[in-house]
Structure 1
Amino acid sequence: MSLFPSAGLPQLDNTLGAWLLGTFFGTLLQGTVYHQAYRYFRLYPNDPMYLKLWVAAVVLIETLNTALTWHASYVYLIKNFANPIALLGAPVWSMSVLPIPGSLAAVVSQAFFARRVYMINRRYTPIVIVAMACFLSFAGFYIGLSIRSLKVHSLPESLKFSWMASTGSSIMMAGDFLVTSVLIFALRKSRTGIPRTDSLLDLLIVYAVSTGFIICIFNALNVAFAFAFPNNLIYSAFSIILTKLYANTLLVALNTRKSLISRGIIGENETSPFMSTILRRQKASAVVIAHRNTSEITSTALPSDSATIELKMVSEHSEPSQVALNRDGYPRDDKYGSTRGIDAAATV
């Protein structure tokens, strides 16, 4: 399907039409980003500052993405109303720049989940490195696409580089699949036989599968249309929506903690399903007593200003013991963290 119909004028349905639909749906999802961000800052005022900055960065980048998509829509649909020939000129700068913040938002969001896999167990470090390499490669392809688009003199010419979008998205999809698969594997492997703990793990597995499945669908559509129809803008609609899905996935992961507490799945001082092994250095130390045949968990945190409590889920083959953590969050007899269980912790 070409950008040009038989009459020689640019088609609008698979160019501006696709772009406008992506902008509309992206704006709707941007509203959910704002809502989730508002809930996060209201519900978790005691979260670490770096996590608040992480959320703020995602929100600001997504706001920029939305502004760029609307600027391009305004230029082509309002300033050049009834002038489809404008599509034959150089692409508007906002359309060319959009791949940079768009890819950055996706990488920042997915880096959070890659870090979570890393903190679950340090032996997953090589997998996390591969996943992060995929994410950064994705950003590299999209930055290259943006640079190329800024140098061309017509929109049809810029579409010759759509292969960079399809290749980058394919690599990103591989990284997403890798992180989601490892997370599900780790959660399933950490089942303890304790009903309360296993119900929490089952919920986390369902969450990981559902969110990862939605993202994979849109990523696959993005890749498929970019490969199949490189000479139009249909794939761009999925790209616009996809960046919003990444941001919403991160924010929902953080905000679901309170919901689990209210439903009685986890207690006020227990672990969060979506934050992994976070211990505020030099401000807290914790002693956790875990008994193999009971779900009772007691903890002492010092000082009281720290809202983070470390939970050590001991495997069935380990002896019931008191696990002392150093101020870096590792058991004192293990520099790299235990590999006999899964670490899960939270900011509450």
Structure 2
Amino acid sequence: MATAATPTLHVDLSGTFGVVFWAFVVSTVLFGVSVVQGYFYYMHNRDSASLRLFVALMLTLDFTTTALSSQSLHDYLIINFGNPFALLYMTKPYISEYIVTGIVTILSQLFYASRIHLIATNHYVRWVIPVAIGLLAFAAFGFAIASTIQIFRTERLISALQYDRMKILAGLNTGLAALCDIVATIAMCLFLASRKTEYKQTKSIITFLLFITINRGLLVAVAQIGFLTSYVSAPSKIYWMPFHLSVSKLHVNTLLAMLNSRSSLRSKTEVTQWRNDTSPTTLASPASKFSYDDRSAMTFADNRHSNMPVFRHDPEIDNDSSSNV
């Protein structure tokens, strides 16, 4: 006697949570990059305790976003496997991840503002630009909190993401955050470009810093603008999730890359210092002309000027070296 086939429930999640899964894979890879960069930072830098604690905090928050994302996927795909109604609601770990991402973003932006304040020599630029960056960062974080409150008011329904109020709040949050990073990047590029010098070594250092600054601003801004455009166009399709999960990772990665780049800059300046100290020079040599304006470019992403080697002219060393030639 033939038995009737048991009907099975087939739900294709490739267009929705399939995107979330691959977004999580990419963000996890980026977290691995953060871990490697963090390892190199603690192995090769001897910064102040406050800066080292700040880096540890950023790495901890980066790990937290990854853990919360994995817990959300576990809730959807494991605990609620076969329960399509669970897919209608946002999990509490996901909402928590949204807030933690906002914290990572504002901390990164405020750190960048503090670097501009540190190296700027013009009084106007030293205060106005960092304050503007700080105001934009706090405004963006405020709208992130407002978006979270709105999600709970709509009972965590994913369909509520397409409401106009939710679009406005999320749009203001992401738009202001992107504007903050763009302003910071442009301000730093203009400052570095204004450091005119006749010495090839200093020019190469400034070019290297410009490369890091532009890449940092470009990566973060693209992720934020990508999230904004994809969310506003199709909020319930979750195509914006890859951009969202990448934002906090890019902030941490670019911050650590900026800090770790100082080792490369130090090695370049140490080689130049050794060559200038062991070869005949005069009082008009580049070693004696190296000014504060040139050194200020190398203090980018550093918390103390004393961490960077300083070129000094020593007539006694020069006379000894010239007598040996």
Q: Same fold (TM over 0.5)?
A: yes
Shift of 1:15: 2.9
* Separation (CA, whole Å) in 1 of partners of 2:263 and 2:297: 22
* 1:172-206 deviation per Cα after TM superposition (whole angstroms, max 9, x unaligned): 11111111111111111012111111111111112
Q: Which residue of 2 aligns with 1:267?
A: 270
- Aligned partners of 2:146, 2:27: CA distance in 1, in Å? 23
Q: Is the 8 Å Cα contact of residues 292 and 314 (structure 1) preserved in structure 2?
A: no
Q: CA deviation at 1:297?
A: 5.7
Contact 1:137 1:168 (C-alpha < 8 Å) held by counterparts: yes
Please point out which of 275, 281, 286 is paired with 1:295. Answer: 286
Question: Using the alignment, how far apart are the partners of 1:149 and 1:107 within structure 2?
Answer: 21
Q: Aligned ranges for residues 1-348 of structure 1 at < 5 Å? A: 12-44=13-45, 46-88=46-88, 90-121=89-120, 122-124=123-125, 125-153=127-155, 154-160=157-163, 161-262=166-267, 264=268, 266-267=269-270, 294-296=285-287, 312-313=292-293, 344=299, 345=305, 347=307
Q: CA RMSD in A?
A: 2.7
1:177 and 1:246, CA in 2 relative to 1: closer, same or farther beyond 3 A? same
> Offset at 1:268?
7.8
**2:195–2:294 CA contact under 8 A, matched in 1:** no
Distance 1:30 1:69, change over 3 A: same
**Amino acid in the other structure paired with 1:237:** P
Report SS of the residue matched to 1:209: helix
Provide the identity percentage: 22
Change (3 A) 1:298 1:268: farther
Q: How many residues matched? A: 280
Give the TM-score taking structure 1 as reference length: 0.73
Residues 172, 346 of structure 1: alpha-carbon distance in 2 compared, 3 angstrom cutoff = farther
Unaligned residue ranges in structure 2 (runs of 5+): 1-9, 274-281, 300-304, 309-325
Mark the CA change 1:74 to 1:193 in structure 2 (over 3 Å): closer, same or farther: same
- CA distance in structure 1 between the aligned counterparts of 2:130 and 2:284, rounded to whole angstroms: 33
The one-character-per-residue Cα deviations of 1:263-320 (angstroms, maximum 9, x if unpaired) are x2x22898xxxxxxxxxxxxxxxxxxxx995431699xxxxxxxxxxx71279xxxxx
Displaced runs of 4 or more, over 6 A:
none
CA gap 1:28/1:144 in 2 versus in 1, 3 angstroms: same
Change (3 A) 1:314 1:176: closer
Cα shift at 1:343: 8.1
Cα displacement (A) at 1:128: 1.6
Change (3 A) 1:343 1:24: closer
TM-score scaled by structure 2? 0.78
Question: Contact 1:36/1:251 (CA < 8 Å) preserved in 2?
Answer: yes
Higher strand proportion: 1
Which residue identity lines up with residue 95 of structure 2 in the other structure? S
Q: Which of the two has greater helix per residue?
A: 2
Q: Which has the larger radius of gyration?
A: 2
User: Deviation per CA, 1:141-192, whole angstroms, max 9, x where unpaired?
Assistant: 1122222223432222255324322221111111111111111111110121
